[in-house]
């Protein structure tokens, strides 16, 4: 499958927030729980996000076939270094949605 662009990736991430809110009956406290360092209104914001000083998408892995090694893909799949799989306590993204994000990173994060 060819990698999709940023609008689809944002749709997946926004959908994860909506699903979490429905499941938990409240808005997630992203600013507080991630030290204000997680945003994705633009792909640049996502690329620069560093919750807990952990860069989610390391630049050397973009477009290099190494998306599975990025902290973003790791934390969407499993607990990482004492941090819970995201979104915390689920519902989690599907394997297909995570693959779409990984394919997008591997394709160089196209618009």
In a domain, 53, yes or no: yes
Reported as a pLDDT band with limits 50, 70 and 90, residue 4 is confident
Question: Is-contact 34 45, C-beta < 8 A?
Answer: no
Terminal Cα-to-Cα distance of the chain (whole angstroms): 16
In a domain, 49, yes or no: yes
Q: Tens digit of pLDDT for each residue in 45-94?
A: 999 998 878 899 999 999 999 999 999 999 999 988 788 888 888 899 99
Q: Give the count of domains, the chain.
A: 1
In a domain, 22, yes or no: yes
For residue 63, CA distances in Å to 18, 49, 70, 97, 109 come to 29, 18, 12, 18, 7
In a domain, 87, yes or no: yes
In a domain, 1, yes or no: no
In a domain, 111, yes or no: no
| Number of Cβ atoms within 10 Å of the Cβ of 88 | 12
In a domain, 63, yes or no: yes
What's the pLDDT at 60? 97
Asked if pLDDT for residue 95 goes beyond 70, the answer is: yes
Query: Which residues form the domain of 20?
Result: 6-106
pTM equals 0.89
């Amino acid at each position: 499958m060819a990698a999709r662009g940023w609008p689809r990736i944002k749709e997946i991430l926004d959908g994860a927030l909506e699903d979490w809110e429905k499941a938990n009956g409240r808005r997630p406290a992203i600013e507080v729980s991630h030290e204000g360092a997680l945003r994705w209104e633009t792909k640049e914001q996502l690329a620069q996000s560093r919750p807990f000083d952990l860069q989610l998408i390391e630049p050397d892995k973009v477009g290099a076939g190494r998306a599975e090694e990025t902290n973003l893909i790791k934390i969407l799949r499993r607990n990482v270094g004492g941090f819970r799989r995201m979104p915390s306590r689920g519902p989690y993204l599907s394997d297909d949605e995570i693959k779409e994000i990984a394919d997008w990173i591997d394709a160089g994060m196209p618009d």
